[in-house]
Chains A and B, each alone.
Chain A
């Protein structure tokens, strides 16, 4: 039976092309792989190869034919001995399968996205517990110890959990987070890596798809920029790209943001970078109990979790529950100080400043409600909106840069969901829009402090 050669689409965007010239004549023999014709697309001149053996029976579009639509028959290939007149039969086979299938098969119309995207950042079901657990019996410990205990408890509980990173084993972590872990779990499960961020990040992702639960420590998140392709393109997207078959239960953790006097390349705050990515969960705790409870939830979570710590907070002490099953849900903010005049949101170290600011404001008769966001994706907008409905004013505090920062997102969400409740524009307290300077006085000027939050709170209250 004659085979119709159709005008091919030769690029992702081509809808028509020019038939520049024929390289075979009517009646000439063709073999699979022979070039039949040259076709000019919008980008280049391409060769059209035959995938059939036979004879070029009839040329339907002569050389020079311009604006030939994709899928229009341009020639007929006959089997040897076949007559070209058979070619006129409308039943001729096409060189692909059924032609009508070229039309998108009963494409169900995708509804245009609503003007206000319904559930903000693809709301995944929250991790393990849904509600805030009671603290119960506590003991005082540092954030550093809480993180170590979280890892140790989860490693005891699940033999598939292991820790890897630079200096995590023999050195006990550059910031001494993994003290005692090598001694308890051995070098199979506490793995010192070479200085090779992209390599060990990709390796961790590969191990996670096989069911292991790696905790990958970045000495600081500044170095994770070397590995961000593996975090986003491999860890965050594989579940979607595999149609739900392959998931990556992996935690990336380490200090984020400014330490002290380490200048531009070691002092960046990455919250909004990771919070931007569907497929990742992002947490940034402040207290030791949240650090422990959230890290345990992160390790048990079947999704990739970015766990942002803060170097300055490592040495801070807090009461921490002794219950080894104390888990804090990912995706829930926490009101850490109730108030009725103004809402202040903060996360990580900025919570400390927000609480200090609230204390100062109290002295001036202003009751600030402080929300520790804790999770940045999924984002607990409900808690923020509930607070704004009460206070009618909101200040967002973060250490990172302002443009496209977490405060920008909060501002948009509050406008979308509580516009009528606002008595003042949303105020943002952020780091200054410059790389971090080294000089002590300049560094201080570049970072947000409690005073900035006090000033912003007063401004949304129209007080000076």
Chain B
């Protein structure tokens, strides 16, 4: 089956709502809109800066998937934890991390979240309860399960959102984690961001079954498939999953049907899918456009007001880019620090 049809078929398993339904909460919808925009503009800027040689190595952009993290973050508290893979810039924005520290880290500067030593794939913020930023596909899944274990051990009522891509779902350690999380009823929501491609391999070419929300069935873990391009649908499903796991009932799986517009990383020529496939998603399902449409339609804000918001977001990102480029490289002495904590 060609990739495009297959992708459509997977999305068609549950009807995709053309637009987020219901009446919008004005304050909330504008906040979600602004945060999604912040991710998109940050990622576009990161793409530009990569092109200019300011960012090195691997750089995986989140453009297209913004509704997933922004929707999920809006249903948890600041004390809950988040952990994800290497496509992590959006998650950090969602957690409230500063675009300055993110772009500075991408540039390998001392003002970055990891003092320039982690790069795009390895960033953390204990203050914002963001625990990486993991470069090994699937390795964040037991890690996040362990964070949930600590929450349960401390009986603090917090949960851990553990994100993974459709590529990670075929790693064995994911199922080792599912088993332990279900066995010990750990407060963890596994969010599978199904963007249809694990690097250049479509889900149909990698997985015997592509409805990933079923993947917890053997352990009795409930799962739901969600339109991940609809921030309100993400919120609705997220609320249900988070309250379930927070109540001590164990893990929950959410499969977000989403799409990345850019390549797997910056150096991906993306020959495994057609330009038309990408354009079709962009024009019909873009999470930011869809919410903008509804905001204007319901009179929450005018187009001009949204453009104004965009200008402000762009200014924030430009300022962050400026900061990143002006932040000095780490001092050479930093090469030797942070290998061990003093005992």
Contacts and interface: CB of A to CB of B under 8 A. Distances in A.
Interface of A: 6, 8-12, 14, 32-33, 35, 41, 43-47, 51, 70-71, 94-99, 101-102, 104-111, 122, 124-128, 162, 188, 193-194, 196, 198-212, 229-230, 233-234, 238-247, 278-279, 281, 297, 300-303, 330
A306 to B, nearest CB: 14
B153 A202 contact: no
A243 B112 contact: yes
Interface in B46-91: 47-54, 56-58, 81, 83
A239 B340 contact: yes
B92 to A, nearest CB: 13
A244 B133 CA distance: 15
B149 interface: yes
Contacts of A205: 142-143, 146
A47 to B, nearest CB: 7
Nearest to A188: B153
Nearest to B149: A207
Interface stretch (B203-211, B233-241, B322-330): B322-330
A207 B183 CA distance: 17
A238 B139 contact: no
B177 A202 contact: yes
A206 B147 CA distance: 5
B267 to A, nearest CB: 4
Contact of B173 (A45, A199, A211, A239): A199
B52 A96 contact: yes
A241 B122 contact: yes
B141 A202 contact: yes
Contact of B149 (A14, A126, A203): A203
Majority secondary structure, A binding face: loop
Contacts of A10: 51, 266-267
Nearest to B179: A194
Contact of B150 (A14, A101, A210): A210
B338 A51 contact: no
A105 to B, nearest CB: 6
A96 B321 contact: yes
A198 B137 CA distance: 13
Nearest to A43: B267
B176 interface: yes
B51 A198 contact: no
Given A127-B343, A246-B132, A303-B343, 7 more contacts: A12-B58, A47-B275, A198-B142, A200-B142, A203-B180, A241-B114, A243-B118
Contacts of B29: none
